Structure 1
Amino acid sequence: MNDKLITFIKDKYSTQEFIPLHVPSFTAKEKEYVSSTIDSTFVSSVGKFVDLFEKKIEGYTKTPKAVATVNGTAALHTALYMAGVRHGDLVITQALTFVATCNALYHMGAKPIFVDISMDSLGLCPIALEEYLEENAYLDMDGVCKKKGTNESIKAVVPMHTFGHPVDLDKILRICSVWNLTLVEDAAESLGSFYKGIHTGTIGEFGALSFNGNKIITTGGGGMVLCGSESIGAHTKHVTTTAKIPHPYEFYHDEPGFNFRLPNINAALGCAQMESLDTFLIQKRNLANDYESFFKGSDYIFVKEPNYAKSNYWLNAVICPSVEARETMLQETNNANVMTRPVWKLMHRLPMFQNCYRGHLKNSEWIEAHLVNLPSTPIDKVYGS
């Protein structure tokens, strides 16, 4: 299997050289737009491309207001802050996620509660979420969700759309409504993914996107807060700056600001990348279809989008039949200059999160032991699927 997989991937990318997991793709537009910011001297947080990039994301995702930030972690931090999460609060999320999800909570002084994932989406499982709350939470007289035994406040639920595959948001929204919890979507990996025709990150009260160098489009480093209303978006924009009240020369700041602003030079890169997004999505879907065909009839299961969703297939993944098969695939592909990787180590196994509350994590632990990510860079020509 692994020799055939290596040959398949090298044929797809038409090279015998090292094949990375995911790299950005650029056209002449990126150089043109970035050069124009240098010529204008507006390379920092002021410039036309920041506003234009926000408008492009608003138009694509249909969110009322998008607010650009310096990276995806800053976007999630801001979204959680605007959702009312504060020091000492608890937030329910998944253990199978990139560490940035939990880092944002840690630096706010909030603490994660880890709930299991669904095998359909590899994201937060509504059944596990509901079971955890019924067993471990209660609503106090003011309707605030509290942790049994400690009376700590549980403020929000943060599902992460793993590898771009949307979680079952309708069911999670219903649970959040029953328990008075705010839904904040970690949509860092899912630009171009849709849940029942609605873009991820726009269904909860807030969403957070990432434009890191390995994402489907990149600004080098960058993120975006997706806000549920224009008024909330205006306040979100305010706190991502230094919260300065506009004035020709006076400096007056009316609340603590994060200074999480995205520089204009990065936004210029993002504007150019947005012009290629539809092409990238087609190329990624073609590649995913080819991977699915390759593994069909074998003991290996290609990870497909849930039937209620349309995924961007940001990172392709395969579930191996055994832990030994996973290890062998990782070793043999990487030894052959084809980069593959295991899924992230579960968050509760990391020293800073090992004492966090958690429910059963049987699906998360099984996926951790069996999943391998495959090269997923968009291929700039259409292959048969």
Structure 2
Amino acid sequence: MNDMILELAKKIKSMYPQKDFIPLHEPKFKGNEQKYIADCIETGWVSSVGKYVDQFERMLAEFTGVKRAVAVVNGTAALHIALKIVGIQPNDEVLIPSLTFVATGNAVVYCGAVPHFIDVSTETLGIDPFKLDDYLRDVAVINGNVCINKQTGRIIRAVVPMHTFGHPVDIDVLFDVCERWNLIMVEDAAESLGSYYKGIHTGNFGKASALSFNGNKIITTGGGGAVLTNDEKLADYAKHLTTTAKRPHRWKYEHDQIGYNYRMPNINAALGCAQLEYIDDLIEKKRRLVQRYEQLIAGCQGVRLFKEPRFARSNYWLQTLIFDENICDINQVLETFNNQKVMSRPIWTPLHLLRPFQNSPKADLQVTEKLQYQIVNIPSSPYLGDDIDG
């Protein structure tokens, strides 16, 4: 097994011999980025108001198929606001996967709510809706059209599916669970720009959803995020809250509630506009990269490449290897790959194991606790798929 891991690392390193070190994911700039940013500088419109913010929001809405997009400073802020506008209240419980980036849990806590951790599916790496439904039958009851946790007495208000590494969860089944238990769905689509569930772009299913444009995402605005929704009133509310809840006026500073200084600067939106102009090409290269990795690991025992679920078309944001349980030590894999200057990383530490969340309610998390020792993300930059025939 050790020889196989070393050989696999060397094969990946040989994919791009021009580079001494292959990072996990880096952005690609090949369009109008410099032109649009220079326009911001030359005109002085570099802050949170400007034509590129409006244009970026329109382009996002058109690309994803939602009615409205509201650009914000990062994906965590986007999820925080998405939860706020759908009515998450202090002391509510919000069902989230434990196998997710810490921002999912943090955004719940920002609302004064309580993360309630649930398990994931091996088919999607996201929420397992069947297991969730069984779990709710044990711990919850509908009382006055509200889902109540029988153990804590708190309202279970919402569920937040996270589309792990760009792979959509089984939305239809999860939506049925939400209807049965009167739960609001808010999608954490931070990683899934360009991913589709049964032909519909992720972010269209939740009452509100969140995107991220961090430097390692499909497209980047440097730092940034967006709230997506098909509800015009919620979109207006999101825009109001993220602009310090300031009432429109030519000169007065009137704020009608506690708001947030979350608006995306124009100069960042300019970068995003340029990136969106060729996002289809970026995604196609990442999908071609899957073919390349399949060829590389062919014949390797005890490891497989994670593939998109049968009902989805994924952006393949991060390429993912899953090692057979008890075959090898993940830390040994990570050390070997990184020693070969092939950047790789494990999946996030499950949130229920982190100190801030150790007292949070949780379901049986057997799959989550196994997967943390099986998953390794490997280099996923679009240029690695450049020379694949499509």
TM-score range, shorter chain: over 0.9
Alignment partner, residue 353 of structure 1: 357
Separation in structure 2 between the aligned mates of residue 200 and residue 292 of structure 1, nearest angstrom: 26
- Pick from 8, 20, 23: which aligns with 2:23? 20
Deviation at 1:13, TM superposition (A): 2.0
Letter in 1 for 2:298: K
* Aligned AA (2:145): G
CA distance, structure 2, for counterparts of residue 212 and residue 129 of structure 1: 30
> Would you say how many aligned residue pairs link Structure 1 and Structure 2?
384
Amino acid paired to 2:131: A
Deviates more, 1:28-37 or 1:6-15: 6-15
State the 1:235 CA deviation. Answer: 1.8
Structure-to-structure mapping, 1:1-385, within 5 angstroms? 1-140=4-143, 142-298=144-300, 299-323=302-326, 324-379=328-383, 381-384=386-389
* Distance change (3 Å), C-alpha of 1:217 and 1:16: closer
The amino acid of 1:383's aligned partner reads I
Aligned with 1:369: secondary structure? Answer: coil
Shift of 1:16: 4.8
Preserved CA contact (<8 Å) 2:290 2:319: yes
Runs of 4+ in 1 over 6 A off after TM superposition: none
Deviation at 1:92, TM superposition (A): 0.2
How much has 1:321 moved relative to structure 2? 2.1
Is residue 13–residue 340 contact of structure 2 (8 Å, CA) maintained in 1?
no
Structure 2 CA distance for partners of 1:165 and 1:113, relative to 1, 3 Å: same
Give the Cα–Cα distance (whole angstroms) in 2 for the partners of residues 336 and 84 of structure 1. 49
Percentage of matched positions with identical amino acids = 48
* CA–CA distance in structure 2, aligned partners of residues 326 and 15 of structure 1: 28
Aligned mates of 1:203, 1:297 — CA distance in 2: 39
Task: Name the CA distance, whole Å, in 1 between partners of 2:190 and 2:45.
Answer: 27
CA contact (8 A) 2:10 2:340 kept: no
Distance in 1 separating the partners of 2:254 and 2:19: 59
**SS at 1:339 equivalent:** coil
User: What's the offset of the Cα at 1:114?
Assistant: 0.8
Deviation by residue 1:254-290 (Cα, 9 ceiling, x = unmatched): 2221121000010001001111211110110011121
- AA at the equivalent of 1:163: F
- SS of corresponding position for 2:158: strand
8 A Cα contact 1:290 1:384, kept in partner:
no
Q: Distance in 2 between matches of 1:97 and 1:9?
A: 26
Calculate the TM-score normalised by the size of structure 2: 0.96
Q: Distance in 2 between matches of 1:221 and 1:67?
A: 15
Partners of 1:130 and 1:203 in 2: CA distance? 18
1:48-101 Cα distance to aligned partner (Å, 9 max, x none):
000000000000001011000100000000000011112111000100000010
Q: Helix, strand or coil for the counterpart of 2:239? A: helix
CA shift at 1:228, angstroms?
2.0
Structure 1 residues 165 and 28: alpha-carbon distance in aligned structure 2, compared to 1, 3 A threshold: closer
Write out per-residue CA displacement over residues 96-139 of structure 1, whole angstroms, 9 at most, x where no aligned residue: 00001001112221111111100000000001110121111111
Q: CA deviation at 1:163?
A: 0.3
Residues in 1 aligned to 2:135 and 2:260: alpha-carbon distance in whole angstroms: 33
AA matched with 1:82:
I
Paired with 1:16 and 1:168, the residues of 2 have a C-alpha distance of 38
CA RMSD after TM alignment:
1.3
Which whole-Å CA distance do the structure 2 matches of 1:244 and 1:325 have between them?
Answer: 53
Q: Distance in 2 between matches of 1:161 and 1:17?
A: 32
